[in-house]
Amino acid sequence: MDSNLDPWGSSQVKDYKKMREEFGIEPFDFNLSGNKMAIRNLIVGQRDFWRIKKAMDRKDKFAAMTGLMPSGEMHLGSKAIIEQMIYFQQKGAEAHIAVADLESYATRNIPLEKARAIAIENFLLNYIALGLKKCNFYFQSTSSRIQKFAFVLSKEVTFSEMKAIYGFDDSKRMLEINSPLIQASDILSPQIYGEAMPTIVPIGADQDPHLRVTRDISGRMNIIKTRKNEDGLTFSIGGSGDPEPFFQIIKKATAGLNIRIKKINTKYRTIEVEKYGEDLYDLETAISRMERGLNPNNTLAPSSLIMRLETGIRGGKMSKSVPDSTISLNEDPGEAEKKIRKALTGGRENVEEQKKLGGNPYICPVFELYLYHLSSEESDLKRVEDECKSGARLCGACKMEASDLMKALLVGLKEKRESSRHMVKEFLENE
């Protein structure tokens, strides 16, 4: 099993740099105006985000995709993903949200009917309350096109690959082995049932294995495969059919962008082209459009944005399986206050020391509450941080302030959920 990226486990990633190096994830260094998590450095990695940035800058069509596990309450840790979905929706993305009820049936034993109620009451209503607008919201269990495409793409993956990625052993049930493929189908579906387009999938670091599988599958289903070499690109034509129509596509696309062809090798079915620089986006878009005409399974590799996982209030990962460490968006405000009172902090042994030496906000779960949820302005956040470090802020008072802000947040959400209930029907119109 990948040491620290287990989609069904409860480990907390400690060193994101190491994670990036181990799994070939790129650091995030884009300027995303108005994206609170980007500004606060809570995006710890990405795959092919350049393509999304380009689509946004050009106002091209692109998709944003996520899925939710309807296995319990929606908690604070899952709020980050949906905030990103809302951000990209506001930037023009076509938003798609899968209720992963087949996955929760497979891995958490949740009956489908129950999953449905949870998905609507605990998730969809909160999504709307947080600002999500009408999108493609669907259930894996009732979507025959998702299931059908999962079946089609399962042709591309062997059991030994699944074992290597997920650590499955021979005793795994077929159901569990299959469920990541349903998710791959979710992620590619905006393109398969629409047009090939950049797709952003905001995820927690623990979901990266799913993205790797899906990106591999996307590449395998494309007939024209693109690879960077030292000074340009190499295209190779997959399969055993006549490569000529695909050579034609590459010639046409490169000619359109004045990219020079260096070498055509008919035996090995490859074409090498020289430098492409800034043209890569246009080149792959043109090629993909043309390949689509010959291959309905052509897609662009989905991109990901990897969010830093929020620490639980009592340390560890913020997860549904540790209720004391987690605050749900439907939580009673009084309960939330009790949990925050018992939170771990980055404070010192005693008040004197804290006043003298200051606290450490960077290891403090209470500070994370401000960072992720409670401070809406950068200046507020900075004030908490500075006061903590200088010793001007003591943990007791800091927790009180956090509780008050959290209560206001929860009460506000509750009101919005109630006033948004009439919108649920609109989101479920395809059901």
Interface contacts to ligand TRP, rule CB under 6 A = 7, 65-67, 69, 98, 100, 103, 183, 186-187, 201, 203, 207
From ligand SF4, ligand TRP, none, which one binds at residue 186 (CB under 5 to 8 Å depending on kind)?
A: ligand TRP
**CB nearer ligand SF4, residue 255 or residue 351:** 351
Contact 101, 140 (CB under 8 A): yes
Q: In the bound complex, what is the minimum distance in angstroms from residue 332's beta carbon to ligand SF4?
A: 22
Rounded least distance, CB 144 to ligand TRP, Å: 16
Give first-to-last CA distance, the chain, whole Å.
Answer: 37
Q: How far apart are CA 190 and CA 196, in angstroms?
A: 8
Residue 146 interacting entry, from ligand TRP, ligand SF4, none, C-beta within 5 to 8 Å by type? none
C-beta closer to ligand TRP: residue 13 or 69? 69
DSSP 247: H
Nearest to 406 by CA among 311, 307, 322, 326: 326
SS3 of residue 269 by DSSP:
coil
Nearer to ligand TRP, 125 or 364 (CB): 125
388 binds, among ligand SF4, ligand TRP, none (CB under 5 to 8 A by kind): ligand SF4
CB of 383 to ligand SF4, least distance (A): 11
CB 63 within 8 A of CB 96: yes
Q: Which is nearer to ligand SF4, 85 or 369 (CB)?
A: 369
What gap in Å lies between CA 66 and CA 187, rounded to an integer? 8
Q: Which residue minimizes CB distance to ligand TRP? A: 67
CA torsion 356-361-365-368 (nearest 10°) is 150
Return residues touching ligand SF4 (CB under 6 A).
345-347, 359, 361, 364, 366-367, 388, 393, 395, 398-399
CB of 358 to ligand TRP, least distance (A): 37
**What percent of the residues of the chain are helix, what percent strand, and what percent coil, each to the nearest 5?**
55, 15, 30
Helix (H) or strand (E) holding 237: strand 232-237
Amino acid identity for residue 422 in this structure: H
Count helices and strands (H / E) in the chain: 19, 10
Based on CB atoms, which residue is closest to ligand SF4, 76 or 305? 76
CB of 347 to ligand SF4, least distance (A): 4
Q: Which does 67 bind (CB under 5 to 8 A by kind): ligand SF4, ligand TRP, none?
A: ligand TRP
